[in-house]
Structure 1
Amino acid sequence: MPAETVSVTGWGRTAPSVARVVRPRSYEEAVEAVRGCGRRGGIARGLGRAYGDAAQNAGGAVLDMTGLDRIHVIDTTGASATGSPACGAGSPAHGAAGGTVLCDAGVSLHRLMEVLLPLGWFVPVTPGTRYVTVGGAIGADIHGKNHHVSGSFSRHVLSLDLLTADGQIRTVERGTPLFDATAGGMGLTGVILSATVQLHPVETSLMTVDTERATDLDDLMARLTATDHRYRYSVAWIDLLARGASTGRSVLTRGDHAPLDALPARTRRAPLTFRPGQLPAAPLHMPDRLLGRATVGLFNELWYRKAPRFRTGELQKISTFFHPLDGVPHWNRIYGRSGFVQYQFVIGYGKEDALRRIVRRISGRGCPSFLAVLKRFGEGDPGWLSFPMPGWTLALDIPANLPGLGGFLDELDEEVAAADGRVYLAKDSRLRPELLASMYPRLGDFRALRAELDPRGVFVSDLSRRLNL
Structure 2
Amino acid sequence: MKLSGWGRYPVLEARVHRPRSMETLQQLVASEPSLIARGNGRAYGDSAINTCATIDMRHLNRMIAFDPASGQLIAEAGVLLGDIIAAFLRRGWFPLVTPGTKFVTLGGAIAADVHGKNHHRDGSFRSCVDWIEVMGADGQVRRCSPQDDPDLFDHTLGGMGLTGIILRAAIRLQPVETAWIRQTTLAAPNLKAAMAAFEAAQDATYSVAWIDCLAAGSNLGRSLVMLGEHAGRADLSPRQALAPFQITSKRKLSIPMDLPAFTLNSLTVRAFNALYYRAGERKTGTRLVDWDSYFYPLDAILGWNRIYGRKGLAQFQCALPLDRSEAGLTALLSEIAKAGAGSFLAVLKRFGKQDSAFSFPMEGYTLALDFPVTPKTLALLDRLDQITLAHGGRFYLAKDSRMTSATLRASDPRAADFHAHRDSHGFTSRFTSAQSERLAL
TM over 0.5: yes
Cα displacement (A) at 1:238: 0.4
Instruction: Determine which of 36, 41, 44 is the counterpart of 1:43.
Output: 36
Give the Cα–Cα distance (whole angstroms) in 2 for the partners of residues 246 and 261 of structure 1: 39
**1:211–1:309 contact (8 Å) kept in structure 2:** no
**1:368–1:399 contact (8 Å) kept in structure 2:** no
Give the Cα–Cα distance (whole angstroms) in 1 for the partners of residues 283 and 297 of structure 2: 21
**1:165–1:190 contact (8 Å) kept in structure 2:** yes
Instruction: Determine which of 31, 40, 45 is the counterpart of 1:52.
Output: 45
Cα displacement (A) at 1:219: 1.1
- Aligned ranges for residues 130-145 of structure 1 at < 5 Å? 130-145=102-117
Instruction: Determine which of 408, 412, 424 is the counterpart of 1:452.
Output: 424
Q: Give the match for residue 394 of structure 2.
A: 422
Q: Give the match for residue 153 of structure 2.
A: 179
Secondary structure in 2 aligned to 1:303? helix
Cα displacement (A) at 1:466: 0.2
**2:163–2:427 contact (8 Å) kept in structure 1:** no
Cα displacement (A) at 1:136: 0.1
Q: Give the match for residue 195 of structure 1.
A: 169
Secondary structure in 2 aligned to 1:302? helix
- Structure 1 residues 444, 275: CA separation in 2 closer, same or farther (over 3 Å shift)? farther
CA displacement 1:72-120 (0-9 Å, x = unmatched): 1111112xxxxxxxxxxxxxxxxxxxx1100001001100000110111
**1:165–1:453 contact (8 Å) kept in structure 2:** no
Cα displacement (A) at 1:381: 4.0
Q: Give the match for residue 245 of structure 1.
A: 218
**1:155–1:381 contact (8 Å) kept in structure 2:** no
Q: Give the match for residue 379 of structure 1.
A: 353
Secondary structure in 1 aligned to 2:323? coil
Moved more, 434-443 or 48-57: 434-443
Q: Structure 1 regions of 5+ residues with no counterpart? A: 1-5, 79-98
**1:420–1:438 contact (8 Å) kept in structure 2:** no
Q: Give the match for residue 328 of structure 2.
A: 354
Cα displacement (A) at 1:309: 5.2
Counterpart of 2:166 in structure 1: which amino acid?
Answer: I
Q: Give the match for residue 152 of structure 1.
A: 124
Instruction: Determine which of 30, 44, 56 is the counterpart of 2:25.
Output: 30
Would you say 1:313 and 2:286 are equivalent positions? Answer: yes
Q: Give the match for residue 100 of structure 2.
A: 128
**2:37–2:54 contact (8 Å) kept in structure 1:** yes
**2:164–2:427 contact (8 Å) kept in structure 1:** no
**2:146–2:153 contact (8 Å) kept in structure 1:** yes
CA displacement 1:361-395 (0-9 Å, x = unmatched): 1111111311001110001142x220000001100
Would you say 1:13 and 2:8 are equivalent positions? Answer: yes
Counterpart of 2:118 in structure 1: which amino acid?
Answer: N
Q: Give the match for residue 138 of structure 2.
A: 166
Q: Structure 2 regions of 5+ residues with no counterpart? A: none
- Structure 1 residues 198, 111: CA separation in 2 closer, same or farther (over 3 Å shift)? same
Secondary structure in 1 aligned to 2:421? helix
Counterpart of 1:354 in structure 2: which amino acid?
Answer: G
Counterpart of 2:169 in structure 1: which amino acid?
Answer: A
Counterpart of 1:76 in structure 2: which amino acid?
Answer: P
**2:214–2:333 contact (8 Å) kept in structure 1:** no
Would you say 1:211 and 2:185 are equivalent positions? Answer: yes
TM-score (norm 2): 0.96
Instruction: Determine which of 56, 60, 78 is the counterpart of 1:64.
Output: 56
Give the Cα–Cα distance (whole angstroms) in 2 for the partners of residues 274 and 151 of structure 1: 28
RMSD (CA atoms): 1.4
Secondary structure in 1 aligned to 2:239? coil
Instruction: Determine which of 105, 110, 129 is the counterpart of 2:82.
Output: 110
Give the Cα–Cα distance (whole angstroms) in 2 for the partners of residues 250 and 285 of structure 1: 29
- Structure 1 residues 456, 110: CA separation in 2 closer, same or farther (over 3 Å shift)? closer
CA displacement 1:202-229 (0-9 Å, x = unmatched): 0000100000111011111111112x22
How many pairs does the alignment contain? 438
**1:278–1:326 contact (8 Å) kept in structure 2:** no
Secondary structure in 2 aligned to 1:325? helix
Secondary structure in 1 aligned to 2:259? coil
Give the Cα–Cα distance (whole angstroms) in 1 for the partners of residues 427 and 400 of structure 2: 25
Give the Cα–Cα distance (whole angstroms) in 2 for the partners of residues 104 and 379 of structure 1: 29
- Aligned ranges for residues 249-328 of structure 1 at < 5 Å? 249-273=222-246, 277-308=250-281, 311-328=284-301
Would you say 1:404 and 2:397 are equivalent positions? Answer: no
Q: Give the match for residue 91 of structure 1.
A: none
Give the Cα–Cα distance (whole angstroms) in 2 for the partners of residues 216 and 363 of structure 1: 14
CA displacement 1:394-434 (0-9 Å, x = unmatched): 00011112x42223222221221222210111100111111
Secondary structure in 1 aligned to 2:167? strand
Cα displacement (A) at 1:275: 6.1
**1:157–1:198 contact (8 Å) kept in structure 2:** yes
Give the Cα–Cα distance (whole angstroms) in 2 for the partners of residues 128 and 114 of structure 1: 16
Give the Cα–Cα distance (whole angstroms) in 2 for the partners of residues 453 and 423 of structure 1: 25
TM-score (norm 1): 0.91
Secondary structure in 2 aligned to 1:127? coil
Give the Cα–Cα distance (whole angstroms) in 1 for the partners of residues 187 and 427 of structure 2: 53
**2:85–2:95 contact (8 Å) kept in structure 1:** yes
**2:35–2:430 contact (8 Å) kept in structure 1:** yes
Give the Cα–Cα distance (whole angstroms) in 1 for the partners of residues 249 and 313 of structure 2: 26
Counterpart of 2:20 in structure 1: which amino acid?
Answer: R
